[in-house]
Amino acid sequence: EVQLLESGGGLIQPGGSLRLSCAASGFTFSSYAMTWARQAPGKGLEWVSAISVSGSNTYYADSVKGRFTISRDNSKNTVYLQMSSLRVEDTAVYYCAKDRSSSPRSAMDVWGQGTTVTV
Amino acid sequence: EIVLTQSPGTLSLSPGERATLSCRTSQTVSNNYLVWYQQKPGQAPRLLIYDTFSRATGIPDRFSGSGSGTDFTLTISRLEPEDFAVYYCQLFGSSPPWTFGQGTKVEIK
């Protein structure tokens, strides 16, 4: 079964840092791009960041550029989101998602259950 | 940045009725990388439609996607009780950010 399990969320003061992890299983992790999206309380979805299969190409929303860093460890089947200089407006459920292909420019066909970050 | 505008904000329908959801882009889209997701309360989104027309694995054929240019549509031919949810479109343009629309809530009338 294809699964994504996020962890690392919590309560953090403004200006603080947090690292989210997403452990993947049930598919060949190194063959797919990965994405982070978020959803503030009572709001819609926001695309946050994506990473290529090798990790050499990364993409960010303007709202997090320069503060968040996406990375992956294909040996551990895990994708990370390092968040720094956190703001109140970063409060959200953060979802990890698998892209349909090796390109980050593709639909997300598997989603984790989300991890909550409260700033 | 391409902006996606979904309408209506809320659609009140009865089971068995047809639902038509709109997603309009602020610029003409030259590819077909328009995606639709369904989200129920307390759950993660689920992929319904990708590349404008293609149903994701396990999605019933009452869901269909269409459109081109700046106007895209998700149609649910006959609403089932489990279809009442929020629906989001997303466009994968030539460069990020790959933003979502603001969502359409389909509620029971």
What pLDDT does residue B54 have? 97
Q: Give B93-105 as a DSSP string.
A: -SSS--PBP--EE
From chain B residues 4-63, the ones with a CB under 8 A of any chain A CB are: 33, 35, 37, 39, 44-47, 50-51, 56-57
Q: Is the previous residue joined to B81 through a cis bond, with omega within 30 degrees of 0?
A: no
Which residues face A98 on adjacent strands?
A: A34, A110
What pLDDT does residue B32 have? 73
- Over pLDDT 90: what percentage of chain A? 99
Which chain A residues contact residue B92 at CB under 8 A? 105-107
Interface touch B92/A62, C-beta < 8 Å: no
Beta strand B54-55 with B63-76: parallel, antiparallel or unpaired?
Answer: unpaired
Taking all residues of chain B, what is their mean pLDDT, rounded to a whole number?
95
- A101 at the B interface (CB within 8 A)? no
How far CA A6 is from CA of A109, B8, B48, B94, in Å, comes to 16, 33, 22, 29
Interface touch B50/A111, C-beta < 8 Å: no
Which chain B residues contact residue A59 at CB under 8 A? 96-97
Nearest by CB to residue A46, choosing from B39, B46, B100, is: B100
Please check the confidence at residue B44 and state whether its pLDDT lies above 80: yes
Q: For A48, which residue in chain B has the nearest alpha carbon?
A: B97
Render pLDDT for A35-90 as a digit per residue (tens, 0 to 9).
999 999 999 999 999 999 999 999 999 999 999 999 999 999 999 999 999 999 99
Q: Which of B98, B99, B105 to mutate to test the interface with A (most CBs of A within 10 A)?
A: B98
Q: For B42, which residue in chain A has the nearest alpha carbon?
A: A113
Q: For A59, which residue in chain B has the nearest alpha carbon?
A: B96
- A57 at the B interface (CB within 8 A)? no
What pLDDT does residue B94 have? 85
CB A76 within 8 A of CB A22: no
What pLDDT does residue B30 have? 78
Interface touch B37/A45, C-beta < 8 Å: yes
- Over pLDDT 70: what percentage of chain A? 100
Among A21-25, A56-60, B26-30, which stretch is predicted with the lowest mean pLDDT? B26-30
